[in-house]
Structure 1
């Protein structure tokens, strides 16, 4: 062994704690609530409702990544949002539907997916411990 302290990334994986699992499930449910609220708000005050719905989703995903200090929080929140929004796009047997076939609905669906991916990947990932160094020096 070289005597250097091992990095946190080099350690074997452990199962997540119970608090982390509860937090991930809470973010999933919160993502679902934000998805339903966004679906109802976005057609009401176009384009302000659309921007408000997307900003709410971005805030949730970024907040979830900051709270859990990993991309997993944002992924769970985005997963809840996407699941609910996809389920709301399906028409019911009675012929009812929530999303109209307009530009605002498509912007909400595609823009929401893009916002979720961007915000979840912008989160700072864990960095290895130790002094920063360049390879080859």
Structure 2
């Protein structure tokens, strides 16, 4: 293929097995960050909430930076959101993990906002090679 062909004009290739495995790993990391954040945030209210949201942001941004694209961040965000949905479901015994307080709502809504912000603002895929300058 021509080296001067723009990245968007090249045909898409299926992801490698390593990239798929890394995305699955970041999905699990996002779920673990959600469970850990759900347990930490009510314990130390202002600090635990900030720690839980910072952990989620680290998982999402870390996934994007490691895979050099948004796929890792989206995988971590999807794992976080799936775990939160499963944790908010009521059980037949009447037990629940999230109380009806402001801290839980801040964790849920703030976590969704952090996931969306970090997954969309992460650097996108860049082509390998020398940087190009116009008028050359």
Question: TM-score, with normalisation over the residues of structure 2?
Answer: 0.91
Match of 1:7 in 2: 6
Match of 1:131 in 2: 132
Aligned length: 132
Match of 1:101 in 2: 100
Q: Is the CA contact (8 Å cut-off) linking 2:70 and 2:125 kept in structure 1?
A: no
The whole-number CA distance in structure 1 between the counterparts of 2:30 and 2:13 is 26
1:71-82 equivalences under 5 Å are: 71-82=70-81
RMSD: 1.7
Distance 1:4 1:73, change over 3 A: closer
The whole-number CA distance in structure 1 between the counterparts of 2:23 and 2:3 is 34
- Offset from partner CA, 1:10-53 (integer Å, 9 cap, x none): 11111000000000000000111110000000000001100000
5+ unaligned residues in a row in structure 2: which ranges? none
Match of 2:51 in 1: 52
- Offset from partner CA, 1:98-128 (integer Å, 9 cap, x none): 0000000000000000000101111111346
4+ aligned runs moved over 3 Å, structure 1: 127-130
Cα distance, 1:4 vs structure 2? 7.3
- Offset from partner CA, 1:59-105 (integer Å, 9 cap, x none): 11111000000011000000000000111011101100000000000
Q: Is the CA contact (8 Å cut-off) linking 2:30 and 2:78 kept in structure 1?
A: yes
Distance 1:4 1:60, change over 3 A: closer
Match of 2:41 in 1: 42
Match of 1:70 in 2: 69
Cα distance, 1:8 vs structure 2? 1.8
Question: TM-score, with normalisation over the residues of structure 1?
Answer: 0.90
5+ unaligned residues in a row in structure 1: which ranges? none
